[in-house]
Chains A and B, each alone.
Chain A
């Protein structure tokens, strides 16, 4: 059973516009959420995270929003750049566990 879901396999955005990537989860025990970016032939690279005690975390052009009641998180990239084109994975974990659970990824293409 997939505890972390990314329902959009792909997304295309014009350069300079906002990219919004979405993620849903089912396990209410999750208390730590992360986004990773992956280029072909490379491992996932950590981007940004958020604890369940917050509803927003910003780092430069990247902002992650958490809606615990809806079990939903999103990653906003503003402004989008061609170098942001990659596959983005969301992930979640809980403090009493040792695993990180990943979604299936969303492929973002930023069009120059």
Chain B
């Protein structure tokens, strides 16, 4: 399977706990994105990497959120001190590094986070 892989598929945590999600992109893609989706909404941009460099981060992203992409391969998204409002589907996507035009995002199946 050469698609985008995300783990875990589901995560239930108590408020205040830290959680970490992993994304393995399509191997030849050098761009990696994190998006968040809540019920009835479209995916919302969180952050973006080109290779190992984090080039853009949403202004909506609080400092409780941090993402890394060591060695430009897999990526992790960590949420510290989770809040109930963090409950959402977290989507990872990757694309070829040919500029935004002509390079569609390819999404994984997401990690559904529930904060109780």
Contact surface of A with B, Cβ cutoff 8 Å: 4, 6, 31-32, 34, 36, 41-46, 49, 51, 89, 91, 93-95, 97-105
Contact = CB atoms under 8 A, between A and B. Distances in A.
Given A89-B43, A99-B45, A102-B42, A51 B101 contact: yes
Contacts of A97: 100
A41 B10 CA distance: 10
Contact of B107 (A41, A45, A51, A105): A45
A89 B42 CA distance: 7
B85 interface: no
B45 A43 contact: no
Interface residues of B, number: 26
Contact of A32 (B6, B33, B100): B100
A4 B45 CA distance: 13
B107 A44 contact: yes
Nearest to B101: A32
